[in-house]
Amino acid sequence: MAALTSIDGSLRPPPREMSRRRLLVLGAAGATGTLTLTGRLAQMQLVEGREHRARAEDNRLRVVREPARRGVFTDRNGLPLLRNRPIYRILITPAELPERPAELYRRLVKLIGGSPADLERLTRRARDPGLGLLVLATTDRSLAQTIEQHIDELPGVSVEATSAREYIDGGVTSHVVGTVGPISAEQFDATGAARGPYRPTDTIGKNGLELTLEARLRGRAGRRQEEIDAGGRPVRTLAREPSTAGTDIRLTIDLALQRDIHRMLSERIAQFGVASAVVVDPRDGGVLAMVHLPTFGNQELADGMSERAMHRLLTDPGHPLLNGTISSAWPPGSCFKIITALAALELGIVKPDTMMECGGGLQLPGGTFLGCWAAHGKQDMLSALANSCDTYFYQLVGGDPLGRWDGMGPDRLAEWARHFGLGAPTGIELPAEAAGIVPDPNWKQRTIGEQWYHGDTYISAIGQGFYTSTPLQMAMVGATMANGGTRFRPHLTTADPSVGNGSELQPIGRIPARPENIALVREGVRAGMLIGTSPYGARYYGTSWTGNLKEIAIAGKTGTSEYGVRGPDGKLPTHGWFTFWAPHENPVIAGAVFIKHGRGAQEAGVIGTRIVKAYFGIV
């Protein structure tokens, strides 16, 4: 066929030839597209297939954490100190929220309160979207059921059944038991963050035994793998690893005695300001009661305090959050004479029949006069302990003021104080234990930058000057003398075969003293509750004779220490102490009482006697 001529005179190919060329062009383009599409599909399936399958799997499956039941505490008789109360938490998973969650927020606030803006801010502040959980509310079963009924309309929202602590006795046991609270950023990071056993929404022990025994109490969370739909709603459970409950722990505490002592101190706390009492079993060091006032309500802390209430608690001058039985150290006063007496006998400074004259104090060279609270006349070791004669004890450490014989000196006294465990934490299973102070000349130079004076030596003999100790330490001094010189580490938990062999309940040492000297000091402390005459003819009127009981023999040593600023009468305020054990011959309890204000040691002694009566059921 001849070629066609266009209007402009150019030649055009015939129609059939032009159609063939177009088909070839279109075919080539189609083939190229097909090859490109085929190549991309091959890449997606063969090269990227694993990644896409993983993404699809992630969108279809979810691992849900099942909280473990936290272990509880009971007292030595099996009485509960706390319970786990069932609660429900409304959770939100930011990664599963719809692209535009505004409608979801509006639905949620109708059920749980708040505002959509609050929910949006919470979600935006999610610490770790990878862990994907925020707690929106803690509620009871009723609201949880309502949420579950509307769960299809709430993508990304879930309900978790868990528990909250219910502290039965509140302030009575709060310093011992402690409390739990939301895990802090520091605690979360310290546990290994996402690799550890916690989530940012978990609770954790904050103080007391809840803190120190956290590893035993928390248990191990379980996991549940479930299939979910596009809205994040569970379709079915595919696999489940059950949780492991935390360990229930029986304490050495006698809850009835703890309650009695708390009541005794509470009756006078307005006058005392600060008061502590510790009672232990001298046969193994188990703590039967540990009470300190002022105290705090651990339930209020666990449930969450308002900022105003927390501010009041933190700024309270009585420091109620502080467990003063272990964290506050005070001059032990004349209770320390138990140590001075035994050291002097062992070092040969005096013998049981060594007599000294007490005229109401001691005159030192240079004019300094060290007073004694009374003029006791002729005194030997037993009567000096019963009368708490300062004049006698000054010389045991400082020596005769006229230089006729030497005392033991500050270094050897400090050594004997350390034999009893003073100057170091006892090792009880509680946080923030104070060591107290056992001073000597090197300590004073190193700590204060001053030299040690002879007057420091004399007043150290009666537990004043720079000596300080905690109520628990003084209770253990009483326990050590009560059992004849064996030192135990005080403990609040009973032996657990799953975590040890009970070695923590074994003696940690013995006082390096002869039995006859220990027996003499014990008799002197017992005489502190009596009126009588020593075997060597010295009269005594025990400083706590009014607290003696006809039903049971108590051994008790009073202590008074001065502190602070002199009052209008020119006198310094005093702390009162009482260290005791009972029955004297075969002791089953020992302890110490400390009161900050009041009329001194006699009031502490009265409380000590009441504690003994409460323990033995004496009306």
Single-letter code of the amino acid located at 419 = H
Q: What is the pLDDT of residue 496?
A: 58
Can the peptide bond before residue 294 be classed as cis, meaning omega within 30 degrees of 0?
yes
- The pLDDT tens digits for 313-356 are 999 999 999 999 999 999 999 999 999 999 999 999 999 999 99
pLDDT digits (tens, 9 = 90+) for 161-197: 888 999 999 899 999 999 999 888 788 877 765 456 8
Q: For residue 86, is the peptide bond before it cis, meaning its omega torsion is within 30 degrees of 0?
A: no
Question: In a 3-state reduction of DSSP, which class is residue 271?
Answer: helix
For residue 9, the model assigns a pLDDT of 46
Mean pLDDT of the region 3-13: 46
Q: Tokens 């135990």 correspond to what residue? A: 488
Q: What is the pLDDT of residues 418-449, one digit of tens each?
A: 999 999 999 999 999 999 999 999 999 999 99
- Residue 472 scores a pLDDT above 90: yes
Contacts of residue 535, Cβ cutoff 8 Å, sequence gap at least 6: 352, 382
Cα diameter, the chain: 158
Report the pLDDT value the prediction gives residue 256, as an integer from 0 to 100: 98
> In b/e form, how buried is each residue of 144-175, taking b as 16+ CB within 10 angstroms?
beebeeeeeebbbbbbbebbbbebebebbbbb
What is the per-residue pLDDT across 403-420, written as a single tens digit (0 to 9) for each? 999 999 999 999 999 999
This prediction's pTM: 0.84
- Model confidence at 247: pLDDT above 70: yes
Q: Where are the alpha helices (DSSP H) in 273-306?
A: 298-303
What is the Cα–Cα distance from 129 to 190, expressed in whole angstroms?
A: 19
- Express as a percent the part of the chain with pLDDT over 90: 60
Residue 104 main-chain phi, psi, to 5 deg = -60, -45
Count other C-beta atoms under 10 Å from residue 479's C-beta: 29
pLDDT digits (tens, 9 = 90+) for 130-141: 445 677 778 878
Tell me what pLDDT residue 573 has.
78
Report which of 157, 208, 201 is spatially closest to residue 433, judged by C-alpha positions: 208
| Top-ranked range on mean pLDDT: pick from 34-38, 180-184, 303-307 | 180-184
**What tokens appear for 298 in the block?**
């651990």
CA–CA separation, 21 and 593 (whole Å): 111
Output the average pLDDT for the chain.
87
pLDDT band at residue 465 under the 50/70/90 scheme? very high
Q: How far, in Å, CA of 484 to CA of 478, rounded?
A: 10
pLDDT at res. 3: 46
Query: Could you tell me which of 208, 163, 200 has the C-alpha nearest to residue 71?
Result: 163
Domains of the chain, CATH where assigned: 61-250 (3.90.1310.10), 255-311+321-493+512-616 (3.40.710.10)
Cα-Cα-Cα-Cα torsion 484, 486, 489, 493, nearest 10 degrees, comes to -70
Could you say which DSSP state residue 353 is in? Answer: T
List, as one string, the DSSP characters of 21-36: HHHHHHHHHHHHHHHH
230 burial (CB, 10 Å; 0-12 / 13-18 / 19+) is exposed
Least confident interval from 221-235, 497-511, 572-586: 497-511
Q: Which residues pair with 277 in a beta bridge?
A: 291, 593
Residue 24: pLDDT band (50, 70, 90) is low
pLDDT band at 111 (very low <50, low <70, confident <90, very high): confident
Residues 6+ apart with CB under 8 A from 65: 199, 221, 222, 223, 224
Task: Please check the confidence at residue 20 and state whether its pLDDT lies above 70.
Answer: no
Element (H, E) at 54: helix 49-60
Instruction: State which amino acid sits at residue 411.
Output: D
Q: What tokens does 433 get? A: 């234990």
Cβ count within 10 A of residue 351? 13
Strand partners, 12: 4
Report pLDDT digits (tens) over 345-399: 999 999 999 999 999 999 998 889 999 999 999 999 999 999 999 999 999 999 9
